[in-house]
Amino acid sequence: MVDLRQLTDELESALGVRSLGVLTQGGQKVVFTAEMSGQEVVVKVVFVPQGPQGDLVRARAHREVELLGAVDSPHVVKVLTDAVELSSPVDAIVWVEERLDGEDLRVALGRAWDESAVRSLLTDLGKGLAACHELEVVHRDLSPGNVRKTSSGRFVLMDPGLARHLEKTAITGPYQPGTDGFRSPEHVPGGDCVPASDIFALGILAYCALTCELPVDARQPDYEVTLASVQAPSVRAKRSDVSDELANVVDRCLHLQPARRYLDGGELVLDLESWS
Amino acid sequence: MAGLLIHDGRRVGHRKWTVEAIDAGLADGAVLSPFATPRVAEPRFPSGAEMASAVRGAGGEVLFDAMTHAVFLPGANKLDFYDGWELWGSGTPDLGSPAARLDHVERVFSRQRKLGTPPLAPTVQLSSPVDASSRTAVELARVARGMESGTWQSLVGTRAFWSSGTRLDAFIGTLASLRAPVWVLTFANEIVVDHKPDMTDLAAWEGFSRTVHSLSERARVIVAHADFSGMPAVAAGADTVGSGWDRGQRCFDPNTYRLDSDPGIRIPASYVTQGGLMAVMRRDVAEAIERWDPKQGYRLRGGTMPPSDSAQRMHHLGRLRHAVADVSGQGTRRDRVQELRDRYRAAEADFDVLNRALGRTVPPSEKTTWASQPLRVLEAYASAEGL
């Protein structure tokens, strides 16, 4: 059991943050709210297991936090510090991200959105993905809990696969990150996630926003087989009122073959802008 | 750029015939190979630089394909010209380490620069999209792109590779993300028994066409060593096929890269291309057709009877290039497919007429090989794509 008081003291000392409060806690991860240089921030803590698995977690954390720190987009949560290693009271990797207002999409996807809102979602997240993909960063877990809509209406990518990936790696070793229902056909064991995999996940979000349903039901027993081998249905089948342009974009995002999708966020945004 | 590229060969007249074909508008360029053209001129064999210059002088496009996929084939030992290109730092083909891969790509690009040809990345032959070789292929492609951002890429697969369904598609997604401006694809045969295309493996050829479709959405696609068997790929989006006068140019034949254990004296049979049938048949069959109905014979051949093998070489290129242009010239994929579908259906009907008129001289198996099997491939692809 981690002594949270001791941990917050260490975090204040290591990161220069103040006013720490637990936001979420579970598994191998704790998330705090805090203040840093006068701004509200989030502090993420991933515990490092002993042994070679721990070395893997450390190496991955340094690499991915560095990559994300280099991403500069209003549509990707900003990483404000490098990954810092704590050795007491527990072995952990910690870093600071900006804290955003608003809500994630878990509730909002319970009702059908209008076309302009879905287009904003695609455009904002497409721009966020473009910034990641330009640096060859693949998000790998584009799901409702990882997208925030701020009070100003801006969509922002959160936690680009990082914290959850690290947490799971700590427990299970190398694995495919992602959230059932929001995985791409490449998100299966042995698969190789590419930028077009994020595009598929964004297509799922857009499909859900339009229909309140998942294109591939994650509850079915052969979910991964279906995901990897069956073309997702056209959004037209559920929403005949959607414009051809938007339906084509969503369907293309959801193409079974990654080479037939938009290859990355930049290509998606270019297409969206061409029919504005 | 579209049409027909002539693969390298070892015939003594190769350079002359290639230049003549380009001059006559029957071909659009040449693909040089380190197995067929020496780096330094040898008696009767011009150097790579001389060959490139001759082709370019005729207005043709020149590629230098390092054929790395061939040098790793079991039994590949026809290395007399190959070794002179010094494509391996250690002298021995080895892609086992990042340093070895980098060195090889660097050497290939260096030779291509000296020849004035576009950077075309080397690759390895693949039998599966999820094995160690496929990872090597991706690593080679990434190294090549890292060295030359606009590099052209190669992809070579066996039937097993092209028939691997969704795993193939996922692999192609990884490669497509490299955004090569040009792809050179090869359908690699493991065994070649005669000059006729073997398109019986429907899943493999459909997978090949599907891949051409995917890659051609953003890039030019050349189908190497293809000849008439490349036509479904042209319908799927390729704009150029590789061909030539010999079997080793018209299809990917592993024997091309092996020393013949008993060269002996071999006189290849004489053939005549029947452009209307998109088929290559023996000269005695062509003459039987001519005797039966000269008017029909002219139509089926797509011209007068070539009086010699030399004339047949040019006649073949002309008929193939004409077919490629007709199909690739259509505005949409649907129209390309329909154009080729019409050609195969017309060929099937003509084969039926020939069989009724000439009996065993034109057996039903010829129709199957040259028209029905390719049509099945086309229809499998078209059906999967909703075309």
What phi and psi values does residue A41 have, to the nearest 5 degrees?
-135, 175
CB B289 within 8 A of CB B300: yes
Range A205-224 average pLDDT: 94
Stated as kind and residue range, the H or E segment containing B353 is: helix B333-358
pLDDT at A165 over 60: no
Chain A: residue whose CA lies nearest to B171 = A192
CB A135 within 8 A of CB A67: yes
Answer yes or no: do A243 and A162 share one domain: yes
Tokens of residue B316, six digits: 């073949």
Q: A52, A80, A98 — which closes off a domain?
A: A98
Q: Is A258 on the interface with B (CB under 8 A)?
A: yes
Range of the domain at A68: 4-98
Contact call for A258 and B173, based on CB within 8 A: yes
| % of chain A with per-residue pLDDT over 90 | 62
The confidence score (pLDDT) of residue A276 equals 62
pLDDT at A166 over 90: no
d(CA B222, CA B242): 7
A152: how many CB neighbours lie within 10 A of its CB? Answer: 7
Return the closest-CA partner of residue B174 out of A118, A122, A36, A259: A259
Band of residue A179 on the pLDDT scale cut at 50, 70, 90: confident
Order of strands, sheet of A39-47, starting from the edge strand that comes earlier in the sequence: A18-26, A29-36, A39-47, A92-98, A84-86
Average pLDDT, chain A: 88
Answer yes or no: do A121 and A83 share one domain: no
CB A8 within 8 A of CB A22: no
pLDDT at A25 over 90: no
Answer yes or no: do A232 and A110 share one domain: yes
The confidence score (pLDDT) of residue B193 equals 81
* Domain at A69, CATH number: 3.30.200.20
Residues of A in contact with B385 (CB under 8 A): none
Return the closest-CA partner of residue A234 out of A218, A211, A257: A211
Answer yes or no: do A164 and A254 share one domain: yes
The confidence score (pLDDT) of residue B80 equals 94
Answer yes or no: do A57 and A85 share one domain: yes
Answer yes or no: do A76 and A112 share one domain: no
**Which of B130, B179, B214 is nearest residue A257 as measured by Cβ atoms?**
B214
For B345, the 3-state DSSP assignment is helix
* Domain at A208, CATH number: 1.10.510.10
**Which of B130, B165, B173 is nearest residue A259 as measured by Cβ atoms?**
B173
Number of H-type helices and E-type strands within chain B: 16, 10
The confidence score (pLDDT) of residue A187 equals 83
d(CA B77, CA B362): 38
Answer yes or no: do A110 and A217 share one domain: yes
**Which of A185, A195, A259 is nearest residue B172 as measured by Cβ atoms?**
A259
Order of strands, sheet of A155-157, starting from the edge strand that comes earlier in the sequence: A103-104, A147-149, A155-157
Answer yes or no: do A24 and A57 share one domain: yes
CB B100 within 8 A of CB B55: no
Residues of B in contact with A190 (CB under 8 A): 130
Return the closest-CA partner of residue B102 out of B62, B72, B140, B135: B140
d(CA B300, CA B289): 9
Residues of chain B with pLDDT under 70: 1, 261-268
Select the more confidently predicted residue: A158 or B18: B18
Mutate to test the interface with B, among A260, A261, A262, A267 (most CBs of B within 10 A): A260
Rounded to 5°, angle at Cα B333 from B331 and B338: 90
Range A60-73 average pLDDT: 83
Answer yes or no: do A47 and A129 share one domain: no
Contact call for A192 and B179, based on CB within 8 A: no
ipTM score here?
A: 0.85
B59: how many CB neighbours lie within 10 A of its CB? Answer: 12
The confidence score (pLDDT) of residue A176 equals 65
CB A174 within 8 A of CB A196: no
* Gap from A46 CA to chain B (nearest CA, Å): 30
Rounded to 5°, angle at Cα A55 from A53 and A58: 110
For chain A, the domain total comes to 2
Q: A44, A76, A98 — which closes off a domain?
A: A98
Answer yes or no: do A68 and A154 share one domain: no
Range in A43-57, A68-82, B194-208 the model is least confident about: A43-57
Answer yes or no: do A56 and A111 share one domain: no
Give residue ranges of B with CB < 8 Å to any A CB.
130, 165-166, 169-170, 172-177, 179, 210, 214-215, 217-218
Answer yes or no: do A153 and A255 share one domain: yes
**pTM of the model as a whole:** 0.90
The confidence score (pLDDT) of residue A171 equals 47
Q: How many A-B residue pairs are in contact by the CB < 8 A criterion?
A: 49
CB B273 within 8 A of CB B347: no
pLDDT at A172 over 50: no
Band of residue A46 on the pLDDT scale cut at 50, 70, 90: confident
Range A227-235 average pLDDT: 93
Residue with tokens 């680009």: A160
Q: A56, A76, A98 — which closes off a domain?
A: A98
Chain A: residue whose CA lies nearest to B165 = A229
